[in-house]
Amino acid sequence: MLKKLTEEKINEILETGIVEFAQNGPDKANINVIAQKSGVSIGVIYKYYANKDAFFEACLRHALKALEAAITEALTGDCKILVRAEKLIRAVQRSAKDQGSYNVLYHEITSGSCRKYAPVFAKEIEEISATTYTAFLTQAQDAGDVRRDMNPRLFAFFFDNVLMMLQFSYCCDYYRERFKIYCGEDALTDDERVVTELLKFFESAFSIERTQITHKP
């Protein structure tokens, strides 16, 4: 009879799975490797998860909990919108350094090779940030802290697109190289410069209304 695993051991297996799936993708990831690195048998993994797909989904949901926690922490308190934006940018940077495999796994889900997971996970993954960002943008608009002529839901989408691309730029090989081409070889290590410049970008987006833009003939 297989001994029941502790929560700590289950988390260790999930963390090992996340790294393997991030490095090799869901199709090529090897359950044997995950079991060996976790110090358990394949039978133990399949006792808790019906098959490879079920285990992959458990790994992804484990990563999503960390994503939700990071967003919640970054948005705690009654802050002005640029303070919230700065907290989120720094959360992305910390996550990229501390939990890079989580972000690579997220990127795997957005790729064409993982399209079968899109119907299951798009809502779970995106609803966390979509709901939160739309809410704080709406609150900021009601308080007069941001432009009056914006659609909060669309702005939440654009805002998240920028943060998502920043996320991938720290963790995914192609986007990391792209980051360096656009911003210089030191972009990956100069966190303060990235924060400062991105806040300038967001400040303009949040504050300059269309009626304030003058067009030269």
Q: Which domains does the chain have, with CATH numbers?
A: 7-207 (1.10.357.10)
Return the DSSP state at 151: -
Task: Tokens for 9, please give them.
Answer: 């051991």
Residues 6+ apart with CB under 8 A from 121: 57, 60, 109
Burial class (CB in 10 A: 0-12, 13-18, 19+), 109: buried
Q: Between vectors from CA 212 to CA 163 and to CA 86, what angle results, nearest 5°?
A: 25
Our measurement of the distance from residue 212's CA atom to the centroid of its chain's CA atoms, rounded to an integer in Å, reads: 34
Instruction: Give the Cα separation of 3 and 6 in Å (integer).
Output: 9
Residue closest to 108 by CA, chosen among 174, 50, 179: 174
What digits encode the pLDDT tens for the residues 45-104?
Answer: 999 999 998 999 899 889 888 777 877 787 777 788 899 999 999 999 998 888 888 888
Please, are residues 179 and 170 in contact by the beta-carbon 8 Å criterion?
A: yes
pLDDT at 105: 82
Please state the pTM of the whole predicted model: 0.84
> Is 70 exceeded by the pLDDT of residue 1?
no
pLDDT at 109: 78
Which of 6-10, 106-110, 136-140 shows the lowest mean pLDDT across its residues?
A: 106-110
Arithmetic mean of pLDDT, 179-207 = 95
Which of 16-30, 144-158, 175-189 shows the lowest mean pLDDT across its residues?
A: 16-30
> Is 60 exceeded by the pLDDT of residue 158?
yes
Residues 6+ apart with CB under 8 A from 195: 86, 89, 90, 93
On average, the pLDDT of the chain sits at 88
> Is 80 exceeded by the pLDDT of residue 213?
no
- Looking at beta carbons, which pairs linking 165-168 to residues 24 or more positions away fall under 8 Å? 166/89, 166/92, 166/194, 166/198, 167/92, 167/95, 167/96, 167/103, 167/106, 168/103, 168/107
Task: Tokens for 28, please give them.
Answer: 């090529």
Q: How confident is the model at residue 184 (pLDDT cuts 50, 70, 90)?
A: very high
N-to-C CA span, the chain: 81
